């Protein structure tokens, strides 16, 4: 089935064609028709499967049809709740691209920035509002935002919403919006708590689950190479130089490590930037914009970028550090191979991290391909570093002493 076969407006079909959407992904195929019929939907689908378009396309069609038949009423008609600022902006961008040329006006509000421009936008009239919980409730309490006319509620990345402690915000939200509404609930994973939350907001929902035995998307090739902790920087240097010009997302364990890896790459003349929760919102957006545009091709990041951020055309994901939570491994590698595109991921695993690897393999249900290096090849990578005789271990120990702790590289 192609998008041209759906009962949606020619305007939306033209936009989908221009954006390169030809055939629906599995989640889109299963979700669009029930949403168009006005049914509640509970959808579970792994990262990178096209969840956002699965609800954006039918929501725009429903609202556009409504506005052609009835005069718009004041207030928000569709409210989309997102756990992070980056995700909220990303969803808004999809609404604006697919909804171009329609009667649907969409906007985004989130905390960490001045509220006056957001209030001004709301005053101009907004149909679809994508919001993070904190700023939404701030503006509701101040009287700048009215949500008592919401006809469609969409909760995206519900499992992350739960993990970040937003469950009370969701239950409080239900007191402010009409009980007679359509509710869409999207999550990457399903647990007992997620089920409890889902069934507290949806009614007689159509349940859709796209969950293959291996939660890593089938179009992602991923492998692990065994590297000592102190040697990881040399292997990263080798990989980045070998595939120069490719777009990399490199995941590390902490903010400090993100900054140190960037400094290490700078010393061997590899340009990169770090992203972590310690940066203010303006800086985070600027870093992501430079990465999206290709001005910077290597992003060194903590798990702040593991979910909810869609960066087109990421060629490789490097797990410089293995995550302690195996679910985060799936989200990390899902930054590549988005939609129907192919992607590749490589993990560096030290002796200390082998228990994490075992947990990841148990979670995914299969052994990750092990890329074996002969001892001579391993030593060649260390010798080929541009760093030469730089005394890394002494440098790191000195830096750790300055920080007041002995953090392992």
The 10s digit of each residue's pLDDT in 197-225 is 888 889 889 999 886 556 787 788 899 99
Mean pLDDT of 274-289: 88
For the cut 70, the answer to whether the pLDDT of residue 98 exceeds it is yes
Q: Poorest-confidence range of 64-73, 86-95, 103-112, 207-216?
A: 207-216
Whether the per-residue pLDDT at 258 is higher than 90: the answer is: yes
Superfamily of domain 3-210: P-loop containing nucleotide triphosphate hydrolases (3.40.50.300)
Percent of the chain with pLDDT over 70: 92
366 versus 185: which is more confidently predicted? 185
Give the pair of three-digit tokens for residue 175: 């007191």
Residue with tokens 């490789």: 316
Give yes or no for a contact between 154 and 186, defined as CB atoms under 8 angstroms apart: yes
pLDDT-above-90 percentage for the chain: 53
Q: Looking at residue 399, what is its pLDDT? A: 53
Asked whether the domain spanning 220-403 has the same topology as the one spanning 3-210, the reply is yes
The 10 Å Cβ neighbour count of residue 231 is: 18
Contact between 306 and 239 under an 8 Å Cβ cutoff? The reply is: no
Which helix H or strand E contains 85, and what residues bound it? helix 85-98
Residue 362: which pLDDT band, with cuts at 50, 70 and 90?
Answer: confident
Q: How far is CA 105 from CA 28, 135, 329, in A?
A: 22, 19, 36
Check pLDDT > 90 for residue 260. yes
| H-helix or E-strand spanning residue 56 | helix 51-69
How do residues 287-315 score in pLDDT, each as one tens digit? 999 999 999 999 999 988 777 677 778 99
When mean pLDDT is compared across 109-118, 353-362, 367-376, the lowest value belongs to 367-376
What is the pLDDT confidence band of residue 404, given thresholds at 50, 70 and 90?
low
pLDDT of residue 38: 95
Q: Give the residue ranges of DSSP H helices in 191-273.
A: 192-201, 232-242, 255-267
Query: In this predicted structure, what is the pLDDT of residue 216?
Result: 80
What are the C-alpha distances in Å from 112 to residues 87, 115, 119, 146, 285?
A: 14, 9, 14, 21, 12
Q: How far apart are CA 177 and CA 34, in angstroms?
A: 22
pLDDT of the residue at 409: 45
pLDDT at 94 over 70: yes
Helices (H), 250-369: 255-267, 281-293, 326-333, 354-364
CA dist list (Å): 186 to 53, 85, 208, 387: 12, 17, 9, 47
The encoded tokens of residue 179 equal 């009980």
Candidate ranges 86-95, 280-289, 333-342, 362-371; pick with highest mean pLDDT: 86-95
Give 70-90 as a DSSP string: S---SS-SEEEE-SSHHHHHH
pLDDT band at 27 (very low <50, low <70, confident <90, very high): very high
Please report the pLDDT score of residue 93 as a whole number. 93
The angle at the Cα of 214, spanning 355 to 292, to the nearest 5 degrees, equals: 90
**Residue 177 clears pLDDT 90, i.e. is over it:** yes
* Structure confidence at residue 282 (pLDDT): 84
pLDDT-derived band at 194 (thresholds 50, 70, 90) equals confident
Confidence label for 392 from pLDDT (cuts 50, 70 and 90): very low
Helix count and strand count (H, E) for the chain: 16, 14
pLDDT at residue 212, rounded to an integer: 57
| Residue 299 φ/ψ, nearest 5 degrees | -110, 120
Mean pLDDT calculated for residue range 89-116: 93
If we measure between CA atoms, which residue out of 228, 231, 226 comes closest to residue 385? Answer: 231
Token pair 């960037």: residue: 262
Distance (Å, whole) CA 195 – CA 233:
42
User: Residue 209: its pLDDT value, please?
Assistant: 86
Distance in angstroms (rounded) separating the CA atoms of residues 336 and 302: 16
- Quick one: pLDDT at residue 371? 86
* CATH number belonging to domain 220-403: 3.40.50.300
Residue 33, classed as helix, strand or coil, is helix
Read off the pTM: 0.67
Residue 349 banded pLDDT, cuts 50, 70, 90: very high
- The tokens 């195929």 sit on which residue? 29
Residue 99 C-alpha from the chain's centroid: 21
Mean pLDDT of the chain: 87
The domains of the chain are located at 3-210, 220-403
| Tokens found for residue 244 | 């120069």
User: Residue 387 pLDDT more than 90?
Assistant: no
């Amino acid at each position: 089935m192609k998008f041209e076969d759906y009962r949606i407006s020619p305007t939306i079909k033209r936009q989908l064609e221009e954006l390169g959407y030809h055939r629906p992904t599995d989640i889109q195929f299963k979700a669009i028709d029930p949403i168009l019929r006005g049914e509640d939907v509970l959808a579970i689908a792994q990262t990178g499967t096209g969840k956002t378009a699965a609800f954006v396309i039918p929501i725009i069609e429903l609202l556009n049809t409504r506005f052609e038949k009835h005069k718009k009423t004041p207030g928000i008609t569709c409210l989309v709740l997102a756990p992070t600022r980056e995700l909220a902006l990303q969803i808004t961008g999809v609404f604006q691209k697919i909804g171009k040329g329609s009667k649907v006006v969409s906007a985004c509000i989130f905390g960490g920035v001045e509220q006056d421009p957001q209030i001004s936008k709301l005053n101009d009239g907004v149909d679809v509002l994508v919001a993070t919980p904190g700023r939404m409730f701030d503006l509701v309490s101040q009287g700048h935002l009215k949500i008592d006319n919401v006809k469609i509620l969409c909760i995206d990345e519900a499992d992350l919403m739960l993990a970040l402690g937003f469950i009370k915000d969701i239950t409080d939200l239900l007191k402010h919006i009409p009980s007679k509404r359509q509710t869409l609930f999207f999550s990457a994973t399903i647990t007992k708590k997620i089920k409890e939350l889902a069934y507290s907001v949806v009614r007689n929902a159509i349940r859709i689950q796209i969950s293959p035995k291996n939660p890593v998307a089938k179009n992602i090739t991923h492998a692990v190479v065994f590297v000592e902790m102190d040697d990881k920087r040399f292997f990263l240097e080798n990989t980045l130089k070998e595939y120069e010009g490719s777009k990399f997302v490199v995941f590390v364990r902490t903010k400090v490590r993100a900054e140190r890896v960037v400094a290490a790459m700078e010393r061997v003349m590899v340009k990169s930037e770090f992203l972590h929760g310690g940066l203010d919102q303006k800086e985070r957006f600027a870093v992501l914009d430079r990465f999206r545009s290709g001005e910077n091709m290597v992003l060194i990041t903590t798990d702040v970028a593991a979910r909810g951020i869609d960066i087109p055309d990421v060629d490789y994901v490097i797990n410089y550090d293995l995550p302690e939570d195996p679910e985060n491994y799936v989200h990390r590698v899902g930054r590549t191979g988005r939609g129907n595109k192919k992607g590749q991921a490589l993990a560096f695993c030290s002796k200390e991290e082998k228990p994490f690897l075992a947990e990841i393999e148990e979670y995914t249900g299969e052994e990750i391909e092990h890329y074996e290096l002969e001892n001579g090849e391993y030593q060649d990578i260390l010798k080929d570093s541009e760093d030469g005789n730089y005394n890394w271990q002494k440098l790191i120990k000195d830096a750790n002493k300055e920080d007041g702790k002995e953090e392992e590289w």
